[in-house]
């Protein structure tokens, strides 16, 4: 029984070591150097441009035939706002991996998908008083998708429509063209030069 337990833990350790070796080979660093890597929190915040855009869709409303006011805000409100966590894993003194994630958020008539950020940061020192930094990050996921409503037009029937345009003069099927489907900024390149006098 004891020997089986040792075999299992050794197998997990072997897989972990293999994964570390593959990552080191990919990045061109030695396993000994990889053991000295440190990860630091860069930023943590709630909200994003697409989260703000979703909230903006909640402005306004329309009046029903019986005079009741229907506000859009109830459909474009979320109890949890998309949270983003950004970290950096330092590989060498001047090089690091940027990575992070977004939790996403959901309202009755929209959703912002969870997201994953991955990138690279490096810097050089042209002279002792200056630093040239370059970072590239890419975002996967995080799309904003607006959902339709089902509207009852009485004698005309029931249709799937854009919630915000259901009370307008546009044909129900035409309103679906204006549902919001947006992607976040997928790639960012940042170049910075700092000179200390």
- What pTM was computed for the model? 0.73
pLDDT digits (tens, 9 = 90+) for 40-87: 999 999 999 999 999 999 998 888 778 888 889 989 999 999 999 999
Closest by CA position to 145, among listed 182, 100, 189, 92: 182
pLDDT in tens, the chain (197 residues): 433 433 343 444 555 555 556 556 655 666 665 567 889 999 999 999 999 999 999 998 888 778 888 889 989 999 999 999 999 999 888 999 999 999 999 999 999 999 999 999 999 988 888 999 999 999 999 999 999 998 887 778 888 999 899 888 888 889 999 999 999 998 999 999 998 88
Q: What is the pLDDT of residue 100?
A: 95
b/e burial code for range 112-147 (CB count within 10 A of at least 16 → b): bbebebebbbeeeeeeeeebeeebebebeebebebb
What is the distance between the alpha carbons of residues 23 and 117, in angstroms, rounded to a whole number?
18
């Amino acid at each position: 029984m004891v020997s089986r337990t040792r075999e299992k833990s050794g197998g997990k350790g072997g897989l972990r070591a293999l994964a570390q070796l593959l990552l080191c080979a990919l990045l061109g660093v030695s396993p000994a150097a990889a053991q000295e890597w440190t990860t630091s929190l860069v930023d943590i915040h709630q909200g994003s441009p697409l989260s703000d855009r979703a909230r903006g869709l909640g402005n306004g409303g329309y009046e029903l035939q019986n005079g009741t006011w229907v506000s859009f805000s109830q459909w474009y409100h979320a109890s949890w706002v998309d949270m983003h966590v950004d970290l950096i894993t330092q590989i060498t003194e001047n090089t690091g991996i940027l990575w992070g994630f977004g939790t996403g958020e959901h309202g009755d008539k929209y959703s912002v998908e969870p997201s994953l950020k991955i990138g690279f940061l490096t810097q050089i020192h042209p002279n002792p008083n200056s630093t040239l930094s370059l970072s590239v990050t890419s975002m996967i996921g995080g799309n904003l998708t607006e959902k339709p409503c089902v509207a009852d037009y009485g004698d005309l029937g029931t249709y799937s429509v854009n919630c915000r345009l259901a009370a307008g003069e546009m044909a129900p099927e035409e309103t679906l063209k204006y549902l919001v489907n947006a992607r976040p900024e997928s790639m960012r390149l940042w170049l910075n030069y700092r000179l200390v006098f």
